[in-house]
Amino acid sequence: MAEIKELRCVIGGCSYRAAEDVYTCPVHGEAGTLDVLYDYAALRRDIDRDEISVSALHSCWRYKTLLPIDECSRVPPLAVGWTPLYDSPRLADALGLSRLWLKDDGANPTGSLKDRASALVLARALESELGVVSTASTGNAAAALAGLGASLPEIGIVIFVPASAPEAKIAQLLVYGATVLLVDGAYDDAFELCLEFCREQGWYMRNTGVNPFTTEGKKTVAFEIAEQLNWQAPDVVVVSVGDGSIISGIHKGFSDLLQLGWIDRAPRLIGVQAEGSAALAKAFAAGAAPESIQRAKATTVADSIASELPRDRAKALRAVRQTGGAFVTVSDERILEAIPTLAQASGVFAEPASAAACAGLESAVKAGLIDSEESVCLVSTGNGLKDIANARKAVGGELRVAADAADIRRALQSVGVL
Ligand SMILES: *Cc1c(COP(=O)(O)O)cnc(C)c1O
Ligand SMILES: [Zn+2]
């Protein structure tokens, strides 16, 4: 286990001791999210990178010694993390890049990167013997908590989701047996209600940008990218951004590795937002402080990156600013087009929020934010089966045929297959 030295406020540097009821900085309010920091000199001394490389644990728990849980503590049994990193020459070609890797986090147990955060939060809940864990979510964080929670019978899960969440995501929650509150409102309304009930009932909050350990779970994706590239960081990492927690986790992961001396430079981070939910991209362009961001309407086909007030705004802006990265925005139309583009060039089927990163990568290359000679890692954050209705809008071309061989032959001839 990595012993926590302090929880430090991103806005003012205020320092706190770790406890399960410390969420955001009482001085700097909701924008003051906390970094989980360790004694890096001790970690450097005690942990050997090459020992991790030969670990037989093919999950995020191979990095247990760099995570804020006990070495011997119980973790959810599902295989979270250690997702594939694909070399993607055809997609690279299509985008005018020489080297592109695709990290497929849609391959996680519940189909998204959110499993990493939920797994860690649940491991901490087990350690502290907390009976109920709750979250508000646009769908994936909830599915992750419900699914991993179902593997731990002693923990009850209460979920707040906007009633507009895609059908498959709601079905997933119900199948896992969580208590599901479909809130007649936006994600941000569900979020506020979840906070209220957690405070009132003493439930453990998994909420993004509130629970500091979600970032620690998400950082494992950066550890994996580096390890899968033989402890090298790519020049650039591109990922889609809603609340800003994933990009912050990626930043934290590479920062930890830098402090350990296991990599010698961190990648530039490029965050992709939907045009209709672009609070962070706007703040970045304006050079604005995270505290100045106000809640504003958010609408996009990519439900997982719709956020009216990005909860991890301080960490996300810092991630991009500190690494010399950028934010780009993409239209819903381009997000939908990117679903088949990505799938047909790589075999990875991504949900809209995840395909948005691919559309954003294309924009970033065109805008000269990425040089064609640089190595790039595109993080695919969620599985395409999460939102079939939108995927269906992006593709056509099926051959309607009678149950008749002659008709099928004609159809195949019409498209040149025969
Ligand atoms: C949550 C999510 C995102 C965005 O992550 P944030 O931490 O909210 O920025 C992107 N893609 C998918 C599939 C997600 O579930
Ligand atoms: Zn503070």
- pLDDT per residue of the chain (418 residues) written in tens, 0 to 9: 789 999 999 999 999 998 878 899 999 999 999 999 999 999 999 999 999 999 999 999 999 999 999 888 899 999 999 999 999 999 999 999 999 999 999 999 999 999 999 999 999 999 999 999 999 988 899 999 999 999 999 999 999 999 988 888 899 999 999 999 999 998 889 999 999 999 999 999 999 889 999 999 999 999 999 999 999 999 999 999 999 999 999 999 999 999 999 999 999 999 999 999 999 999 999 999 999 999 999 999 999 999 999 999 999 999 999 999 999 999 999 999 999 999 999 999 999 999 999 999 999 999 999 999 999 999 999 999 999 999 999 998 899 999 999 999 999 999 999 9
In a domain, 261, yes or no: yes
**Contact predicate 161/137, CB 8 Å:** yes
In a domain, 227, yes or no: yes
Total number of domains constituting the chain: 1
Domain housing 301: 85-111+215-394
Contact residues of ligand 1, CB 6 A cut-off: 112, 114, 140, 208, 240-246, 304-305, 351, 353-354, 381-382
Cα separation, 310 vs 182, in Å, equals 21
pTM exceeding 0.75: yes
Residue 127 structure tokens: 């350690």
In a domain, 403, yes or no: no
94's CB contacts (< 8 A; 6+ apart) are 341, 345
Report the separation in Å between the CA atom of 34 and the middle of ligand 2, taken as the mean of its atom positions: 8
Atom number, ligand 1, closest to the C-alpha of residue 311: 8
Atom number, ligand 1, closest to the C-alpha of residue 240: 10
Nearest to 112 by CA among 414, 413, 379, 333: 379
CA angle 215, 113, 361 (to 5 degrees): 95
Question: Can you give the CATH number for the domain in which 319 is found?
Answer: 3.40.50.1100
Considering every ligand atom shown, identify the ligand nearest to the alpha carbon of residue 111 and give its number.
1
On the 0-12 / 13-18 / 19+ scale of CB atoms within 10 A, 344 is: middle
On the 0-12 / 13-18 / 19+ scale of CB atoms within 10 A, 26 is: exposed
In a domain, 411, yes or no: no
Residue nearest ligand 1's atom 7 by CA: 245
Report the SS3 class of residue 418: coil
Nearest to 345 by CA among 226, 300, 84, 337: 337
In a domain, 34, yes or no: no
By most ligand atoms within 8 Å of CB, the mutation choice from 116, 240, 250, 270 for ligand 1 is 240
Report the separation in Å between the CA atom of 258 and the middle of ligand 1, taken as the mean of its atom positions: 24
In a domain, 65, yes or no: no
In a domain, 209, yes or no: no
In a domain, 347, yes or no: yes
